């Protein structure tokens, strides 16, 4: 196991390095941040001062070298726009995104797995067909549009939930999150549901497919023949076996929930990392773009590792290579 | 009895809630400031926000006319010295006194904030601040300098006591964010909210005592979400209402919409410095001499633009036709200039006279996320030009890509495009702003023509602009600026103005916002209906 983790870590460092090279050269090919940031009334002297201040007067290779050197020290650069360390900006907004992702994951799981199992057990029933049709809708409707629709219906028309932003922040066991207050929960519900819709659909379909396959396996038949209660057959024999593909998907999807919740965060003015990255891309805040993508790469590598480890716990047949 | 009780409770509830509403205000902003430090980033959203907490010496009202703010009076006492008398009895938010020392300190800090992506150096360079007594300041320049009040209206005064050694982070955290303005800074959570509270000791130069106890700014970037937040009652005021929604929202009795012209002109820059312009070809694709160098062609293009249709169809009526660089009412605007009429016949004749009777091919460029409906404007322009025989192709792109190419995407960092859509907001509120930046010959050494992306150049115009910039007498300067505009725009067609952008604010119906030409959203501009 240790060897496995070590090997994974070395691989990730190489991935990180390649990624930094790609991202850094990529963002430096596009546009001119000074044109974005400067007051149009500024004269040429001021423009030159800013170019120098931001370090853009140096060749890209030199800029990259500085970036690498500083990155080793844990400094991923300073935001052009905010003048604060890029890492600090991202970390500041991370809790908002993580709580949104967690809550939407929670929503998708508590609905998707029971619905999926039901659709798998009774594929011919009307309810199952409705569930499956609904999941196609969930897949195909654009997040942006659904988000606006949610706001119009729940916030404007019914007036039940707030339309934008993050609610009050509460504290529980030292963790500060808007999940711990009623106001916070009312704010997070719509964006989380919006974000969950796509996951919900994919997990339903995955669960259904898994159920359909596993229900005909010998060990299920044997369990039933042995007279094991149906609830135990489903909750233990079936559920444990369909979880493997679901865990894989959830692991990766959780990463993408965090990394690419940009659309939902923008529509709901959710102050998370997704909104930060999209604003940074619009305004060519290069250091933040680079730092963000670096962090996301680390995140994905870590999640993959976690998924691999979870496999071994769920399915004793899977043995991590190199563990002996 | 029971019913009576209920009615009573409801009535009390109504009274209480209306009282609470009158005291608190939530504003949905399109763009969030990048810092609380008033000198860190000289750009609209920042300057708009900092006007709540900090004051400048010279105030700038909704039409960008000056009013006494921290300075009660100002005048030139000789060719190279301006005298500013400061307001007495002004207190900083911490209770200490405002004096001339704070002003002198500000003049040193404002242009030198580390990592500032756009500073105030442009407005402060060449000026020496001298303290005469505790409430008098002399500002000396090497040459006569008429724009002193304009320049100083942009710079917010900070407290010496709190500003000394303070970094931008100290302002963002609130430690150094001590101003003299109508609202005190409470908290900033980037991307989420900015909280202010009323300053009961405000000196009252702008609309008297603050009207709201607590003000919350929420950044809501997308237009539909901003509107939804207002409709849902989560915010009381929003800025930048998309033109497409204005007509529909105006019918909503629970909202109050206000629109006003801005200081931003939307115009065309045309390549006037290259014989071979990269995006212009003869019909069929051959090489031709750049027709835009001929003033007759430029005039023909202006005549081919149906500005009425542009305003009513493309801009949904939320714009004003433009014939020069600033709308009427601004200093230095010519009273003689009108928007060119729509006259394709005259335009075609001019094309033929210039030897381009068969037309030519041209690609026109524009941004698609910078000005209101920018991409649509470019498409409409393309159609209008094709009517006089100019075969057009349209290319629009995000501003992050566009502006670099428009300024320096060509050979030797020259502007890349042949024909491009741009906008200019006159921050200083005077025609000198667009004239020196867009129409003066590009000259790095004297800081002129920085945004002259067509490289228009006329020595006669340069001379008048420079003379205006050293004429202290306001009337005489205004006349010179008008004259320069008449030649550069009216005669030379150095740029072709299309329309002045209008901005729309929407508030809940009990409030109404006084539109501002500088596009700022100031809580002080709200009044009860």
User: What is d(CA A49, CA A47) in angstroms, rounded to the nearest whole number?
Assistant: 5
How many CB contacts within 8 angstroms connect chain A with chain B? 164
Q: What is the pLDDT of residue A314?
A: 73
The set of residues, in sequence order, having a beta carbon less than 8 Å from that of B488 and lying 6+ positions away, is B435, B439, B456, B458, B461, B494, B495
pLDDT, tens digit (0-9, with 9 covering 90-100), for B299-354: 999 999 999 999 999 998 889 999 999 998 899 999 999 999 999 999 999 999 99
Find out whether A205 and A116 touch, Cβ atoms under 8 Å: yes
Tell me if A275 and B191 make a contact (CB, 8 A cut-off): yes
User: What is d(CA B396, CA B417) in angstroms, rounded to the nearest whole number?
Assistant: 12
Judging contacts by C-beta atoms under 8 Å, the chain B residues touching residue A152 are: 228
Q: What is the pLDDT of residue B14?
A: 45
**Average pLDDT score over residue span B483-510:** 94
Tell me if A268 and B428 make a contact (CB, 8 A cut-off): no
Judging contacts by C-beta atoms under 8 Å, the chain A residues touching residue B435 are: none
Judging contacts by C-beta atoms under 8 Å, the chain B residues touching residue A50 are: 116-119
Task: Provide the 10 A C-beta neighbour count for residue B454.
Answer: 26
Q: Which residue of B has its CA nearest to A272?
A: B191
pTM: 0.86
Tell me if B229 and A164 make a contact (CB, 8 A cut-off): yes
Average pLDDT, chain B: 91
Q: What is the DSSP string of B195-240?
A: EEEE-TT---TTTSS-S-SEEEEEE--SHHHHHHHHHTTS-SEES-
Tell me if B234 and A165 make a contact (CB, 8 A cut-off): yes
Ramachandran category for residue B191: left, alpha or beta (phi over 0 → left; psi -120 to 50 → alpha): left
Tell me if A43 and B450 make a contact (CB, 8 A cut-off): yes
Q: Which of B172, B186, B229, B180 is nearest to B39 (CA)?
A: B172
- Percentage of chain B exceeding pLDDT 90: 77
User: What is d(CA A105, CA A205) in angstroms, rounded to the nearest whole number?
Assistant: 16
Tell me if A163 and B407 make a contact (CB, 8 A cut-off): no
Judging contacts by C-beta atoms under 8 Å, the chain B residues touching residue A166 are: 192
User: What is d(CA B181, CA B170) in angstroms, rounded to the nearest whole number?
Assistant: 18
Q: Which of B83, B155, B156, B150 is nearest to B436 (CA)?
A: B150
Tell me if A44 and B404 make a contact (CB, 8 A cut-off): no
Q: Which residue of B has its CA nearest to A51?
A: B117
pLDDT, tens digit (0-9, with 9 covering 90-100), for A157-201: 888 888 888 888 888 877 788 888 888 888 999 999 988 888 888
Strand partners, B448: B443
Q: What is the pLDDT of residue B20?
A: 42
Examine the predicted complex and report whether its ipTM is higher than 0.85.
no
Q: Which residue of B has its CA nearest to A33?
A: B400
pLDDT, tens digit (0-9, with 9 covering 90-100), for A108-144: 889 988 898 888 888 888 888 888 888 888 888 888 8
Tell me if A78 and B115 make a contact (CB, 8 A cut-off): yes
Task: Provide the 10 A C-beta neighbour count for residue B405.
Answer: 19
Find out whether B398 and B368 touch, Cβ atoms under 8 Å: yes
Q: What is the pLDDT of residue A319?
A: 62
pLDDT, tens digit (0-9, with 9 covering 90-100), for B36-95: 999 999 988 999 999 999 999 999 999 888 999 999 999 999 989 999 999 999 999 999
Q: What is the pLDDT of residue B524?
A: 93
Q: Between B34, B114, B221, which is nearest A81 by CB?
A: B34
Q: Which residue of A has its CA nearest to B167?
A: A83
């Amino acid at each position: 196991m240790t060897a496995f983790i070590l090997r994974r870590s070395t691989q990730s460092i190489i991935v990180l390095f390649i990624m930094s090279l790609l991202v850094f050269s990529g963002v430096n090919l596009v546009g001119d941040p000074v044109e974005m940031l400067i007051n149009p009334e500024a004269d040429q002297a001021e423009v030159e001062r800013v170019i120098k201040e931001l370090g853009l007067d140096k060749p890209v290779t030199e800029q990259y070298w500085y970036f690498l050197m500083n990155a080793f020290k844990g400094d991923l650069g300073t935001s052009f726009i905010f003048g604060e360390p890029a890492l600090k900006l991202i970390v500041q907004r991370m809790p908002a995104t993580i709580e949104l992702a967690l809550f939407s994951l929670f929503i998708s799981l508590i609905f998707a797995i029971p619905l999926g199992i039901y659709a798998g057990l009774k594929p011919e029933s009307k309810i199952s067909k409705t569930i499956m049709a609904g999941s196609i809708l969930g897949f195909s409707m654009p997040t942006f549009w659904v988000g606006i629709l949610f706001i119009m219906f729940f916030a404007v028309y019914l007036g039940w939930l707030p339309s934008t932003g993050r609610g009050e922040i509460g504290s529980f066991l030292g963790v500060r999150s808007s999940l711990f207050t009623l106001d916070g929960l009312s704010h997070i519900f719509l964006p989380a549901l919006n974000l969950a819709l796509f996951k919900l659909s994919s997990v339903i379909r995955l669960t259904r497919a898994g159920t359909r396959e596993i229900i005909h396996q010998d060990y299920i038949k044997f369990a039933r023949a042995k007279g094991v209660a149906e609830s135990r057959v489903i909750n233990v024999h079936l559920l444990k076996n369909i979880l493997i593909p679901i865990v894989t998907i959830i692991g990766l999807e959780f990463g993408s929930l965090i990394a690419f919740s940009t659309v939902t965060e923008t529509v709901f003015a959710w102050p998370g990392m997704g909104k930060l990255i999209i604003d940074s891309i619009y305004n060519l805040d290069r250091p933040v773009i680079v730092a963000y993508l670096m962090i996301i790469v680390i995140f994905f590598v870590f999640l993959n590792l976690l998924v691999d480890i979870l496999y071994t716990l769920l399915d004793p047949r899977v043995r991590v290579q190199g563990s002996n | 009895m029971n019913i009576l009780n209920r009615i009573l409770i409801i009535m009390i509830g109504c009274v209480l809630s209306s009282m609470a509403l009158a005291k608190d205000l939530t504003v949905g902003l399109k763009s969030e400031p990048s810092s609380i430090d008033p000198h860190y980033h000289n750009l609209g959203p920042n300057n708009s926000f900092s006007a709540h907490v900090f004051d400048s010496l010279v105030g700038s009202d909704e039409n960008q006319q000056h009013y006494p703010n921290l300075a009660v009076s100002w005048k030139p006492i000789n060719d190279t010295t301006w005298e500013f008398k400061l307001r007495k009895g002004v207190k900083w938010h911490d209770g200490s006194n405002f004096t001339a020392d704070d002003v002198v300190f500000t003049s040193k800090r404002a242009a030198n904030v580390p990592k500032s992506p756009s500073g105030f150096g442009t407005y402060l360079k060449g000026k020496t601040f001298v303290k005469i007594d505790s409430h008098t300041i002399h500002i000396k320049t090497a040459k006569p300098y008429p724009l002193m009040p304009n320049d100083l209206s942009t710079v917010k005064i900070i407290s010496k006591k709190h500003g000394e050694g303070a970094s931008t982070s100290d302002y963002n955290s609130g430690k150094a964010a001590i101003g003299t303005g109508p609202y005190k800074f409470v908290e900033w959570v980037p991307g989420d909210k900015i909280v202010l509270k009323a300053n009961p000791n405000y000196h009252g130069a702008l609309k008297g005592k603050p009207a709201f106890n607590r003000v919350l700014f929420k950044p809501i970037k997308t237009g539909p979400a901003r509107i939804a937040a207002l409709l849902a009652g989560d915010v009381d005021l929003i800025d930048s209402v998309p033109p497409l929604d204005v007509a529909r929202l105006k019918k909503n009795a629970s909202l109050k919409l206000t629109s006003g012209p801005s200081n931003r002109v939307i115009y065309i820059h045309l390549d006037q410095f290259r014989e071979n312009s990269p995006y212009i070809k003869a019909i069929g694709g051959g090489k031709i001499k750049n027709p835009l160098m001929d003033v007759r062609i430029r005039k023909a293009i202006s005549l081919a633009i149906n500005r009425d249709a542009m305003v009513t169809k493309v801009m949904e009526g939320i714009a004003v036709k433009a014939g020069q660089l600033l709308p009427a009412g601004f200093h230095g605007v010519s009273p003689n200039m009108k928007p060119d009429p729509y006259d394709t016949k005259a335009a075609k004749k001019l094309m033929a006279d210039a030897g381009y009777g068969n037309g030519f091919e041209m690609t026109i460029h524009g941004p698609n996320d910078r000005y209101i409906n920018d991409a649509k404007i470019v498409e409409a322009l393309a159609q209008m030009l094709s009517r006089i025989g100019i075969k057009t192709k349209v290319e629009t792109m995000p501003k992050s890509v566009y502006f670099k190419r428009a300024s320096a995407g060509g050979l030797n960092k020259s502007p890349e495009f042949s024909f491009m859509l741009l906008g200019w907001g006159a921050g200083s509120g005077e025609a000198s702003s667009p004239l020196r930046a867009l129409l003066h010959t590009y000259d790095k050494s004297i800081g002129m023509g920085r945004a002259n992306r067509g490289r228009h150049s006329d020595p006669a115009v340069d001379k008048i602009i420079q003379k205006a910039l050293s004429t202290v007498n306001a009337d005489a300067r205004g006349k010179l600026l008008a004259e320069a505009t008449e030649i550069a725009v009216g005669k030379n067609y150095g740029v072709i103005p299309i329309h002045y952008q209008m901005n729309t604010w929407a508030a809940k119906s009990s409030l109404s916002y006084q539109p501002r030409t500088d596009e700022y959203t100031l809580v002080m501009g709200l009044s009860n209906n």
